[in-house]
Every structure is written in structure tokens, then in C-alpha cells.
Structure 1
């Protein structure tokens, strides 16, 4: 048995923490300063983590490599298994042109560009984040807005800022699932606390989007639809994440938010021509006035309805129990680790949910989608293979980062850093979201930031007397606000709207909003750590 040691360097916690932080420092420097591609930075960081675990912490090389392999497996299944199948569904809608039908359908809901921004960037963007994440909402929504006549810069900024509130539950709950896995905090607990933090952002973001689209006039004229949309989104995200399923939180929030928005009478009023002339400064897509048969419109919405239906069925207790029986649990080979107190860690046993995982359920929805959209079997298989090829670097990035996280967590490196950071005491609650924000800003992924810093946050919480669930959730909730300024997302937004090379322009426009909303989240978490808002926690 390998027993984790907290002070392997000269019996000094500070020096040990400095050495333990080397893998993280290497990754962050390579990504932020050197601008190295994420998958290469992740692999180099993994190599540094292995060396530190082996030489400094004395973890046997066999166990070190075994812990990294476990991280790779978790990165492939269930994490990227969800993303691949979700993007596969999207690719089939593009192949059959039903995505264009969906875009035209959104354009007909309202001719007010301010309402269109809420429907597409906030509500539909949240649905895309729920199904796929990893940059898809920013790319797709910004293209949609440009097609409606938005200026490319404004379209990109709106899509980036909108991609905040749903991120923690994106890709069928992948960030919170990862957070639970690396921290040992039950998924239900993590999702419950995150579901009491990010909905507060959802109350504000629609109003921010209206301001970005049309300034004070927009807020004066359309604050009511924006507020109703935000409240409905927040209420649904809170209720579903706390009482139903983390995987369904964003899907429900997106659908309820959109329905509430369209239900507001003022949201359906035609926009005044001066508003349209001031806001829609780009070139409007020529096919927006094309009429689509009702049957094809229904088929365009069908993939998303199928996913909601299948996930809802999977939450029925008898069905859920049946699927759970297909979960494989086994002792992970070549791994026998105990924490610094001599207690075996949970990673010694690995669970593999074959059916009861979001990726498998999305795969089933994808099979039905292919049938509904009329995609032939061979073509659907080719699209799945093309999706894997498109995501090859993302798969390598996620697996390398999770392998790094597992090596750091199981060797004791994360625990050492956590004990050292705990010296911040009560101030840790205010700083905790900043760590997640920084991780996402650099890595571009809330999942990666949770894998890197989740265990550290929990260790620090234990030592400082704060709630481990609160700080773990704060890492994810703060992280969502770093998404809009991450180099990856900025590059995706620029590429989508034809602004290649202008990432700096977008950064200057979104950075103030990212920092302001981060401050709000820091204050929320700090208040939740005290009696002021402590009543909000489960």
C-alpha cells in the first residue's frame, strides 16, 4: 500500500506545496504565456506530475502510471463519450438541413433583435451547452445571430457572455460529474450546491445581453421579457439540479426559459424600425423568409425532444434501478493507495456505468434521431466517425488533463497544496471562485478546471473548517465566468463569424463583464459560507 505524504520536501508544507504545484504551473504557463496547444500542454504537465509523484512523493512508478491510466479511462468514458454522441446528433441535423430549419424557426419567433439574442444566445445556447458544450454554443449561436443581421463583433460578444450560467451543467452535467469524481463529494450534493449558485447568474445575464445589444434603450423597453426569462431559467435550473437530475438541469432551464420569454406579450411585439436599423448592422441571410413545411419544423425540433424524453424516462425509479445494475465496479489494477491518515481512497475501486451514463442515453437518442431525420445507417456511422475525428484533439486534451489530475490527487500532491492554501482561512470562500475562474480562463473548460483544482478545494475546505461541497461547487460556479475570456472560446467565436485575428478586440469587450460577474459570484460564495446566505445550502 502506498500512503500519501503531505510534507515530502524537507518536512516543510510550504516547500512541498511549491514542488507539488509544478505540474499545474507548467500547464498554466504553457497555455497562458507560451500559447501552446492545450493537448500538448496537458501531456507535458502529465509528465511533470508523474515525475513529481515518483521522485518527490515516492509513489511507486507502477501505481503512478496506473492512476494516470484511470484518469484517461474516465476522460474517455463517460466524459468524452457524452460529448462525441451529443455532437453526433448535431452533425446529423446539419447534414439533413434541419438545423437551418431550426434557425429560421427561431428567426420567426420575434423580429426584435433583442428578443432574438435572448432566444438564440441565452436559451438555445444553454440547450447546446447542455447537449455538447466545449465551444459548440458560442460557434453555433454567433453564426445564427450573424445570419439574422447582427454585426459580427456584437454577435460574438453576445454569444460569449451568454455562455455562462449553463456551463457548470453542460455536456449532460460533465463538469459536476468530474468534480464529484475527483473530490469524492457525492454528485447529488455537488449539483445541489452549484444549483444554488449559478441560477443567481441567470437572473442577471439576460439583462446584460439586452444591454450589449441595445444599451439603455434596450433595457428600458425589454427589461420585462429579459427578467422573466432569467427568473424562469434560474428556477428551472435550481429545481431540476436539486430534485431531479444534474444531467437534465440545463435542458429544462433552456426550455422553460424560452417558453416563459415567448409567453410575455411584449416579447412578441414587432420591433420599431429605428431599433432594427441600429442593431442589425450586418448582412441578413437570404433564406430567412423561406417557408418551411410544418412537418419539417417538427422534425427539426425532434432530436432535442427525443433527448429530453429519453433522459426523463431514465430518471423513473424502476428504470433507473434497472440501468444501475449494468454498472461495473472492480478493484483498479496495480493501485493500492491510502490517504495521509491511512484510510484507503475511493479510487482503488473503479465504477463503470455502461448504460446509466449520459453518453449512452444520448447515443440512443441519436439512433432515433437518425431514423426521424431519414439518415441512412451507413451515413450516420460515417457522421459518428467524423465527429470523433473532429474532436480528436479535445479528447486528447481532456484525457491528459484528467490523467494529470488523478496522478496529483492519488500521489498526494493536491492534498499538500490544499493544506497549504487552507491558511487563507475564512478568506478562502471569497478566493475559491477565482481559482475556478482562472482555471477555465486558461484551459477553456470547466471540466478541466474542476479536475485540476477540485480536490485541492476540498482539502483546503476540510482544513479551514469550511464546507467541502461549497468550495467544490464554487470552483465550478466561478469557472463558468472564465469561459468567455478563454483563448479557445475567443478563437472559436472569431472563426465562426469571420473575425480571425481579432481575439484581442473581443477580449477587451468581454473581460469587464467576466470580472464583474466573478466579483458577484465571490460575494455570493463568501456570504454562503456565513450566516448571511448559509441558509441557502442544502
Structure 2
């Protein structure tokens, strides 16, 4: 916070109501006014800029620097990751690997309910754990469209499915960051990881059933409940086991791979009596050898390997001050402000995905580097509007943070006293809605959650876990997620439609997290 007070009206409720204007206006723009996401983001950026300056007294230089810092982070690392992930997908398509990969999944079962479980849930969760930052939504939505799902329907399903894995994206960083915050009550990431095991398993178990319900109703659940059960039980139990005993890092890596493998084995012995097809037609696929299938998954093997290496502490230590590669981290002061920004040239996750793409090209005879870089150029052209939108959203988030708007909101919510556990997840929902990131949300609001719990004599880890779980429910409709999902399926400009499709599920899951957190607070 770069202002003297986050309570400019000397009345916290009034200050918080004004601070909430950007959030309320954003929702109105996307739902009631049906604006394109880019226009909604730019209008809200201007409004937030004025509120932060003239109401919360953020100096012009700091306000401008906040927007610049948000734009830099929107391009690097977030935009960088998105472009690299879609580029890797385009390479897979250009080389024919994607067709083989799609055929390998479709060959497991022509039933599109089961394809949804394999791709929309399992593969989605795996990519969330391996990379996060919109990668699973972009790739899995496109995969579903290629198998016959409608574009916006595929985007909606992938956003909802992401609710089962968003807490542990990018090698568990959203929870792992907790240990760096020095929270009240000495809350560690392991404490929060264990506490999430009281809430997230219920959601994780439910979401596969919800996905099938959305495309084929209760009849569909009845027909394929054995397959849904295999996925729900294996994913839920293994993730709970890992979060309780090992921590957050592998919570989105091992469970989805285990669930996908067990489902594939199960479907070799069992298939539903009725094959469900959305458009009444099967997707024609060729049969491929095991060797061809293994090669087809090469880009995603490489993606996983490189991202895992990038997450290793020994690798990260190369980039800390004094490390062997610290010169690749560019730190600079934003002119006219006190803000510092940085660009990690090598340690950014996007670089890991870039190397996966380059390695795929090098190991594949059907594509050369000239064609590969041509695909990269096309990807940048396709995604520049969503990236500008993301930059604007992060600019809003920075203005709210440095201008004290987030503090005003957080302190007002914390005044709720003993009903605060009921409202605690809402704070996390707000954080992720504005930033699109559970990592940023925990960085912003976990200190407030832990402090409030400490004051109330409650368990701080419970409130921080509620902040995480509530935040995950906002990922379903955060403008950043909506922009990525819409662009991936070629529906840029229909962000308002997609938001309305997903909003009720985000709010419904949030309501459950709020009520369940309140119940847990009575026990703990």
C-alpha cells in the first residue's frame, strides 16, 4: 500500500463500498451491459485509476507506475506463458501429433461423457499442476472442440472442471507461497495444505458428476456412474493423501495421472450400453500403434519435464541474488514511481514451455524451425487482444493494492467478528476475480485472513485455506480466465456470454465453501 490511509472517508464501510466499485462495475459490464472483455477491462482500468488517485489519494506517479507494473506482468510472465502454451499446441497440430493424441483418447471410448472425464477433468488437472496460468483451459477446451463439443460449451466445462485443481496450480505455488509471508500464528504452507484436505475433497469428488450432469443430465450420471466413480474416488483420495502427508507441490501432478490411467484401464473392461454423442455422430479416428501414440504425446511429456525441472529448488536457486544465473533476472525501477519490476528471462515458466516447443521441433521431421516460428507469429497475432485485456486487469489489481482499496475491503469484511468464517472465502473470491491468480490472491489477502483469525482466537490455517478455496471458485469467472477460454475456442468477443454460463456455478460452489468453512470454524 502506497497511501497514508485506506479509509479516506474515515468511515470504513463507506470507503469499502467505494473500493468495491471496480469489482461491481466489472461484473455489470460483462453481464448486464454485455460488453466485450477488452472494453470492460479498459473502462474499469480508467475508473479504478481515478478512484485510486482522487479518492484514496494515490499519487499520479505511483498510480501510473501501478498500471505499468501490471502491464509488464500481464505480458511477462502471464502473456508469455499463454502464447508459449498455445504455440506448443499449434506445433502439435501442424506435425499431426494432435490428431494422433485425439485419436488415442477417442479410441478409449467414443462416448463423449467419458472423453469429457479424460480431457476436461483429468488432463485439465494435470496441465494445471504442470503449468497453470490458463494453460489447461486453453489446451483442453480446444481438444474438446476438436472432438465435437460446441466452443462455448467446451470452454464452460473446462472452467468448471478447473475448480477441482486450481488450488495447486503450477506445482502447488498458490499454497507454497504461504511459507514466504510470515503470517500471524506462524502459518506454513504445509499447515494450509493439510487444512485444504477438509474442504477441497468434497468439491473434487463432486465436480466429475457435475460435468456429466451438464451435458447429459441425471440419465447420463446413471449410465456412466462406475466411470465417474473411478475418476472421483482415485483423484480425491490421492490428492487428499498427498496434501496431508507430502504438501502441495505434487497435488495436481500425481492424482490426475492416476485417475486418467485407472479410467483408461477400467474402460478396457467396461463401456456404457449407450454411447452418448452430442451431435449424434462419432468422431472418425484412425488406429495408431503404441509407438505412434507415445510420440504424439511428446510435446506434453516435454512440457511436464521442463516445468518440473523449472520448479526444482536447486534450479530456482540459480536465479537468486548471487546465484550462477542471477544476471538473467532484470530488475528495474519504473520511472516516476517507487515501484520495482522484474523480468525473469530464463526462470519464467514460459521459457520452460518454449524449450518444450523447440525440442519438439528438433525431434520431429515433419516441421522445421522456420515453420515453427511462423506458427509463433500467428499465435501472437491471435492472442494480442486477450493479453492486452489481462494487462488491464492486472493494472486494476495493482491500483487496488497500492491505493489501499483491497485493504479497505479486507478490513471491512474482517469486522464481521464471529461470522467472519462465513465471509472469509468471499475475500479470496474477490482476490482471484480481480487478479485471475490464486497465488496473487493469497499474497494479497492471506495476511488479513491470518490476522483476523488470530484476533478472533480461531485457527489461522483454516481461514487461509478458506481464502484459497474461495479463490479457486472465482477462477471459474475471473475475467482473465474468461478471456483465455474465449480466445482458445475462437470466441473472443463473447466473454459476457461465457461469464453468464459459468457464473451460477462459481457462486454455488462459493456458497458451499462459505457454509462449510463456518461449520469447520465451530469445530476448530
Aligned residues: 506
Q: Secondary structure at the match of 1:34?
A: coil
Q: State the distance in 2 between where 1:241 and 1:76 align.
A: 32
Q: How far does the alpha carbon of each residue in 1:334-362 deviate from its partner, in whole angstroms, 9 at most, with x for none?
A: 5877xxxxxxxxxx555544333322211
1:462 aligns to what? 451
Q: 1:284 aligns with which of 275, 281, 285?
A: 281
Secondary structure, aligned partner of 2:6: coil
Per-residue CA deviation, residues 76-122 of structure 1 (Å, 9 max, x unaligned), is: 22222222211111111112221111111011223555433321221
Conserved? CA contact 2:144–2:154, under 8 Å: yes
Partner of 1:344: none
Identify which range, 186-195 or 511-520, moves more after superposition: 186-195
1: CA distance, partners of 2:311 / 2:407 = 35
Residue 100 in structure 1 maps to residue 99 in structure 2: yes
Offset from partner CA, 1:195-214 (integer Å, 9 cap, x none): 54444422222233344556
The CA deviation string for residues 200-229 of structure 1, in whole angstroms up to 9 with x for no partner, is 422222233344556556545643442332
Whole-angstrom CA distance in 1 between matches of 2:293 and 2:362: 16
Give the 3 Å change call, closer, same or farther, for CA 386–235 of structure 1 in structure 2: farther
Equivalent position to 1:428, from 420, 425, 432: 420
Would the aligned equivalents of 1:481 and 1:518 in 2 still touch at CA under 8 Å?
yes
Contact 1:71 1:399 in 2 (8 A): yes
Rounded to whole Å, the distance in 1 between the matches of 2:168 and 2:212 is 24
Match among 374, 377, 387 for residue 395 of structure 1:
387
User: Could you tell me which residue of structure 1 aligns to residue 163 of structure 2?
Assistant: 164
Pair 1:429–1:232, CA change in 2 (3 A): same
CA 1:194 to 1:250, structure 2 compared with 1: closer, same or farther past 3 Å? farther
The equivalent residue for 1:341 is none
1:377 aligns with 2:369: yes
* RMSD across aligned positions (CA): 4.4
In structure 1, which of residues 168, 173, 176 is the aligned counterpart of residue 174 of structure 2? 176
Q: TM-score, normalised by structure 1?
A: 0.77
Matched, 1:146 2:148: yes
User: Structure 1, residues 10-43: CA drift from partner, whole Å, max 9, x if none?
Assistant: x222332233333333333322322222222222
Could you tell me which of 349, 354, 358 is aligned with 1:367? 358
Following TM superposition, by how much is the alpha carbon of 1:426 offset from its aligned partner in structure 2, in angstroms?
3.1
1:268 aligns with 2:268: yes
Equivalent residue, structure 2, for 1:311: 307
Counterpart-to-counterpart distance in 2, 1:144 and 1:416: 46
Question: What is the CA distance between 1:391 and its match in structure 2?
Answer: 1.5
TM-score by length of 2: 0.79
* 1:299 and 2:295 correspond: yes
User: In the alignment, is residue 6 of structure 1 matched against residue 6 of structure 2?
Assistant: yes
More displaced, 394-403 or 129-138? 129-138
Matched, 1:414 2:403: no
Structure 1 residues 199 and 336: CA distance shift in structure 2, 3 A: farther
Distance 1:512 1:25 in 2: 16
Query: Is residue 359 of structure 2 the alignment partner of residue 357 of structure 1?
Result: no
Deviations 1:114-169 (A, max 9, x none): 4333212211233455546274256324324427xxx9998777555434212344
Q: Deviations over 1:288-340 (max 9, x none)?
A: 2x222444322211111112222333344433422443453757445877xxx
Unaligned runs of 5+ in 2: none
* CA distance 1:402–1:175, shift in 2 (3 Å): farther
CA distance, structure 2, for counterparts of residue 27 and residue 182 of structure 1: 31
* Structure 1 residues not aligned, in runs of 5+: 338-347
Q: Matches of 2:3 and 2:512 in 1, distance apart?
A: 40
- Aligned CA distance change for structure 1 residues 89 and 138 (closer, same or farther; 3 Å): closer
Q: Is the 8 A contact 2:141 2:485 kept in 1?
A: yes
